[in-house]
């Protein structure tokens, strides 16, 4: 057995399995000062570059989670770092009582690469979804006082603020915080008949993820999203797509809705938009774009010059480095490698859209696989007992995929 000098774990050099967790001093400090809202893995990261991060003991890790789909252009991309540095030296914050150039440039860019006319900026995906819910409720009230119901999907995830938590179709996240907001109905994902039964004249919006991410990467069926669009049109409701995880190139296109040819009225973004700097966005078109007026909504930090300058650099990097095409190609290559032996026999299902990949394990040992992969230098995500999620940076190459497959083969 060998023990690292500074950080975290004792590791069996033959199996690579972590035997003990983090040094006691770090655990005590974390226990004393930090609210424990996460179960942390036994590592402290101190530096990142491209597809790799390093811990405080100098060990290198291949990151196939990207900060949970955040570091889309990789860690500390030079262009993004330069944009942050230059903006930080110029202007960081003024509040939304005034105009700032980076916000305007980013809003224009988002409109140019999407089907949306206007953007509200905030700081996270949950906040973006809260804005979308408020747009939906106000838009419904312009038609009828009873038009306030919102339909979402079971097993969806939309955030942890009270409104976005209510929209999240998972009781395990909701039970401790009841009573939740009234007026929400939940239907089985990809169940067209259930969706038809749930939408009525009292429905102000249908809110869906084009791919269920947090539940294990389940892409929508085209007919399900087409039905949602038709039902919203028929009943005067808004169609909202939560693209917090799927947006900004993750699926091989700018937006996952492009795969389906179904354009929502409202789309929410965050995660990869800032490639590590907190930013969220709620985009809207048509009547939804002008529903909110001064006094209806706001965000002190939303759209601040630093975050918007970083996000604009992210979008420009994706364009100039052709990362949409790379995400499509590397996603297909990764799926191909996962369907080869010896890994194939250990999996019961592989689901993917671009570089958003989920696999179902034959054995219910996803957490063991996650932990042992980490010990071998690969960062992945266990969802429950038998599902693994992979969300690597859009800049990965075949060599990085092969490296990940080698480690997975050893662990599995």
242 is catalytic: yes
Q: Into how many domains does the chain fold?
A: 2
Has residue 186 been placed in a domain?
yes
Show which of 256, 291, 320 is a domain's final residue.
Answer: 320
Has residue 83 been placed in a domain?
yes
CB 412 within 8 A of CB 346: yes
Q: How far from 139 is each of 30, 239, 290, CA to CA, in Å? A: 45, 12, 10
Has residue 347 been placed in a domain?
no
At 308 the pLDDT is 98
pLDDT tens-digit series, residues 332-358:
999 999 999 999 999 999 999 999 999
Domain boundaries, position 149: 78-320
265 is catalytic: no
CA-wise closest residue to 180 among 165, 160, 197, 202? 165
Q: Quick one: 225 and 288 in the same domain?
A: yes
CA-wise closest residue to 51 among 35, 42, 33, 63? 63
Q: Quick one: 50 and 181 in the same domain?
A: no
Judged against a pLDDT cut of 70, whether residue 22 lies above it is answered with no
Place of tokens 């409104």: 163
Contacts of 74 (CB under 8 A, 6+ apart): 49, 50, 51, 66, 275, 393, 394, 395
Q: Of 16-25, 263-272, 276-285, 347-356, which range is least confident?
A: 16-25
pLDDT tens-digit series, residues 253-271:
999 999 999 999 999 999 9
At 42 the pLDDT is 82
Q: For the whole model, what pTM was predicted?
A: 0.93
Has residue 396 been placed in a domain?
no
**Residue 202 CB: number of other CB atoms within 10 A?**
15
Judged against a pLDDT cut of 70, whether residue 7 lies above it is answered with no
> pLDDT band at 29, cuts 50/70/90?
confident
271 is catalytic: yes
Q: Quick one: 93 and 45 in the same domain?
A: no
Residue percentage of the chain with pLDDT more than 90: 89
Has residue 367 been placed in a domain?
no
Query: Exactly one of 64, 121, 148, 157 is catalytic; which is it?
Result: 157
Has residue 149 been placed in a domain?
yes
Is the pLDDT higher at 28 or at 70?
Answer: 70
Query: Exactly one of 23, 242, 265, 334 is catalytic; which is it?
Result: 242
Show which of 264, 294, 320 is a domain's final residue.
Answer: 320
HEC string for 380-392: CEEECCCEEEECC
Q: Quick one: 32 and 143 in the same domain?
A: no
pLDDT tens-digit series, residues 88-127:
999 999 999 999 999 999 999 999 999 999 999 999 999 9
Percent helix, strand, coil in the chain, to 5, is 40, 20, 40
Query: Exactly one of 8, 147, 271, 346 is catalytic; which is it?
Result: 271
Has residue 3 been placed in a domain?
yes
Show which of 267, 291, 320 is a domain's final residue.
Answer: 320
Q: Quick one: 57 and 148 in the same domain?
A: no
At 5 the pLDDT is 36
Place of tokens 């980076």: 102
pLDDT tens-digit series, residues 134-173:
999 999 999 999 999 999 999 999 999 999 999 999 999 9
pLDDT tens-digit series, residues 307-332:
999 999 999 999 999 999 999 999 99
CB 217 within 8 A of CB 211: yes
Q: Which CATH number fits the domain that encloses residue 274? A: 3.40.640.10
Q: Quick one: 265 and 181 in the same domain?
A: yes
Q: Quick one: 126 and 33 in the same domain?
A: no
Residue percentage of the chain with pLDDT more than 70: 94
Q: Quick one: 165 and 36 in the same domain?
A: no
């Amino acid at each position: 057995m060998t023990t690292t000098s500074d950080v975290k774990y004792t590791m069996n050099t033959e199996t690579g399995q972590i035997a003990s967790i983090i040094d006691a001093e770090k655990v005590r400090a974390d226990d004393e000062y930090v609210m424990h809202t996460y179960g942390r893995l036994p590592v402290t990261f101190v530096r990142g570059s491209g597809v790799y991060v390093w811990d405080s003991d100098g060990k290198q890790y291949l990151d196939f989670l990207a900060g949970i789909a955040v570091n889309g252009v990789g860690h500390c991309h030079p262009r993004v770092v330069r944009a942050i540095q230059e903006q930080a030296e110029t202007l960081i914050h003024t509040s939304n009582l005034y105009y700032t150039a980076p916000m305007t440039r980013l809003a224009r860019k988002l409109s140019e690469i999407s089907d949306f006319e206007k953007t509200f900026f905030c700081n996270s995906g949950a906040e973006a979804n809260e804005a979308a819910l408020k747009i939906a409720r106000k838009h419904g009230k312009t038609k009828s006082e009873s038009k306030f119901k919102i339909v979402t999907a079971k097993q969806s995830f939309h955030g942890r603020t009270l409104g976005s938590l209510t929209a999240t179709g998972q009781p395990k996240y909701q039970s401790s915080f009841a009573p939740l907001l009234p007026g929400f109905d939940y239907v089985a994902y990809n169940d067209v008949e259930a969706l038809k039964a749930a939408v009525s004249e009292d429905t102000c919006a249908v809110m869906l993820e084009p791919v269920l991410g947090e539940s294990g990467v389940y892409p929508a069926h085209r007919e399900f999203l087409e039905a949602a669009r038709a039902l919203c049109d028929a009943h005067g409701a808004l169609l909202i797509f939560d693209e917090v995880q799927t947006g900004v190139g993750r699926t091989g296109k700018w937006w996952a809705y492009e795969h389906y040819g179904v354009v929502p009225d409202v789309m929410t973004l965050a995660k990869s938009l800032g490639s590590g700097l907190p930013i969220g966005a709620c985009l809207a078109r048509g009547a939804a774009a002008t529903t909110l007026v001064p006094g209806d909504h706001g965000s002190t930090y939303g759209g601040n010059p630093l975050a918007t300058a970083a996000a604009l650099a992210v979008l420009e990097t994706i364009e100039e480095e052709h990362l949409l095409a790379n995400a499509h190609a590397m996603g297909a290559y990764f799926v191909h490698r996962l369907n080869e032996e010896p890994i194939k026999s250990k999996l019961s299902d592989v689901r993917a859209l671009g570089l958003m990949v989920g696999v179902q394990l034959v054995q219910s040992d996803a957490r063991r696989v996650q932990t042992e992969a980490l010990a071998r230098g690969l960062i992945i995500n266990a969802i429950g007992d038998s599902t693994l999620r992979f969300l690597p940076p859009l800049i990965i190459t075949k060599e990085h995929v092969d490296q990940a497959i080698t480690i997975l083969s050893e662990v599995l």
